[in-house]
Amino acid sequence: MSLKSFAAKILAKRVKRGIDRWAQAPKQTQLAVLQNLVQTAKNTRFGMDHNFEAIQTPEDFAAQVPIRDYEALRSYVDEVVAGKPDILWPGKPLYFAKTSGTTSGAKYIPLTKESMPEHIKAARNAILCYIAETGNADFVDGKMIFLQGSPEMDEKNGIKMGRLSGIVAHYVPSYLQKNRMPSWETNCIEDWETKVDAIVEETIKEDMRVISGIPSWVQMYFERLIEQGAKPVGELFPNFKLFIYGGVNFAPYKARFEQLIGRSVPSIELFPASEGFFAFQDSQNEKGMLLLLDAGIYYEFVKAEDFFKDNPKRIPVWEVELGVNYVMLISTTAGMWGYNLGDTVQFTSLAPYRVIVSGRIKHFISAFGEHVIGKEVEQAMKSAIDKFGLQINEFTVAPQINPESGLPYHEWLVEAESLPDDLSEIAAWIDREMQAQNTYYLDLIEGSILRTLVISPLKPGSFKAHMKSKGKLGGQNKIPRLSNDRKIADALLSLQG
């Protein structure tokens, strides 16, 4: 055992003990976070506008601070972007994480001296929890790759800005710098396909042990590696021991990854965003990710079915229930107050609090009142993958409201390594899985409002071509798993020729 791996095991045990302490006192931990947030920001513009001085309880907070998305908070953010101090949080932010919005165009998410370290700590602690549980630490002696955006940054009114993953690249600990790949120069390449080719050239002969990134883009890296090396990834990298991912559910990709690698590799799921690092998989044996209650983030939850009602009830973490679909609201040390991130979650454990990401509050299908969410379609696809041995590259689902003939249906647009000519058995299987999960969908099928879903196979590379046409190839960009309209579906079908 190397000195580095020995030290990692000692640190892992210490960090895990600290995590266990706050995880066993969730209410006290979150109340302390709320108190600190309100007291620290009471003299900011936002704090004075929302009477922070009088806030003592979660109920006070919910009464004073309305639920907001980026657009609703934008008047404050615009002042921060203009360089004004003490607007949402004391002083000025260290960075803006620049992301692409839908209705709002570019979004500028503040990162402060208090919030930025939590992103780094959470990523580190995810790995340390894995070491503490499994005792596996020898991967720290090999090379690690993090597929991420360019670390080059612009500046706006004296504040640096860039992609979150690129900003994080500036914070890689010194003890990992020699292990980290790709090189700085390669990481700065903007064109994603050029960048992946350069990463392949740099890494193909290295002792890669940890690989991290969004599954769809890691898959592209693996496919290019195999093209170049003519061997499965697991043979090119015999010591590849750990895959770290976030952003999407890995289950639909798993079979394809095992084929590309040639074996199974342990994985750690993360739940990061520009607005904060919310959860990570703390156990290989438990479902869900540990919600980070001591990371400078105060959480509130609204039942998804109630979210669009007037004044929906906001629930603190100690009052949530298992299996309920919640919209997650956050208030943070970067000044995001009562902020609707857009993600929906379900709790898989209440001791400690673990979550899965079930979808997006705006990404659903309810063209007929079916209320289908991302978790349901992913679980149904996972069942079909296991049943039929499919290797799915990517898929998305959309309603077909006005078919040329017959009843309306849900269209599943699927890009796979291969699919049988007759897809009726697979479609029937997925449809039964959907009916078992969603009673609204079942009622619509049984009531002859909808017919069995239709699978539309796509040519290899369709999703990549679509993302490239939108200027969103690579990095943290991803295709929505489902949509309530046909914009994405029709764009993909138009590429089929």
Tell me which amino acid residue 350 is. L
The pLDDT of residue 105 is: 61
Contact 365, 484 (CB under 8 A): yes
| Model confidence band, residue 176 (pLDDT cutoffs 50, 70, 90) | low
How far lies 198's CA from each of 118, 129, 209, in Å? 31, 32, 19
The pLDDT of residue 252 is: 78
| Model confidence band, residue 152 (pLDDT cutoffs 50, 70, 90) | confident
Determine the length of the chain: 497
Enter the DSSP assignment of 268. E
pLDDT, tens only, 189-236: 888 889 999 999 999 999 999 999 888 789 889 999 999 999 999 999
The pLDDT of residue 351 is: 96
pLDDT, tens only, 309-335: 889 999 999 999 999 999 999 999 999
How far lies 479's CA from each of 215, 363, 374, 463, in Å? 12, 11, 12, 8
Angle CA 165–167–170, to nearest 5: 110
- Give the position of tokens 């899965």: 356
| Average confidence (pLDDT) over 132-150 | 90
Contact 117, 124 (CB under 8 A): no
pLDDT, tens only, 80-116: 999 999 999 999 999 999 876 544 467 899 999 999 9
| CA 288/CA 280 separation, integer angstroms | 8
Contact 220, 257 (CB under 8 A): no
This prediction has a pTM of 0.82
The pLDDT of residue 260 is: 95
The pLDDT of residue 175 is: 64
Residues whose CB falls within 8 Å of the CB of residue 308, separated by 6 or more in sequence, listed in order: none
The pLDDT of residue 474 is: 64
The pLDDT of residue 46 is: 98
The secondary element (H helix, E strand) that includes residue 271 is: strand 267-273
The pLDDT of residue 106 is: 78
CB-side neighbour CA atoms (13 Å) of 204: 18
| Average confidence (pLDDT) over 262-267 | 96
The pLDDT of residue 102 is: 42
- Say whether 160 sits in a helix, a strand or coil: strand
Contact 180, 151 (CB under 8 A): no
| Model confidence band, residue 244 (pLDDT cutoffs 50, 70, 90) | very high
Which has the closest alpha carbon to 355: 363, 345, 370, 365?
A: 345
Domains of the chain, CATH where assigned: 3-116+273-360 (no CATH), 137-265 (no CATH), 374-494 (3.30.300)
Contact 306, 329 (CB under 8 A): no
| Average confidence (pLDDT) over 391-402 | 91
pLDDT, tens only, 414-468: 999 888 889 999 999 999 999 998 888 998 898 888 999 999 999 999 988 998 8
pLDDT, tens only, 339-390: 998 889 999 999 999 999 988 777 778 788 787 888 889 899 999 999 999 9
Lowest mean pLDDT among 212-221, 283-292, 295-304, 447-456: 212-221
pLDDT, tens only, 32-71: 999 999 999 999 999 999 999 999 999 999 999 999 999 9
The pLDDT of residue 44 is: 98
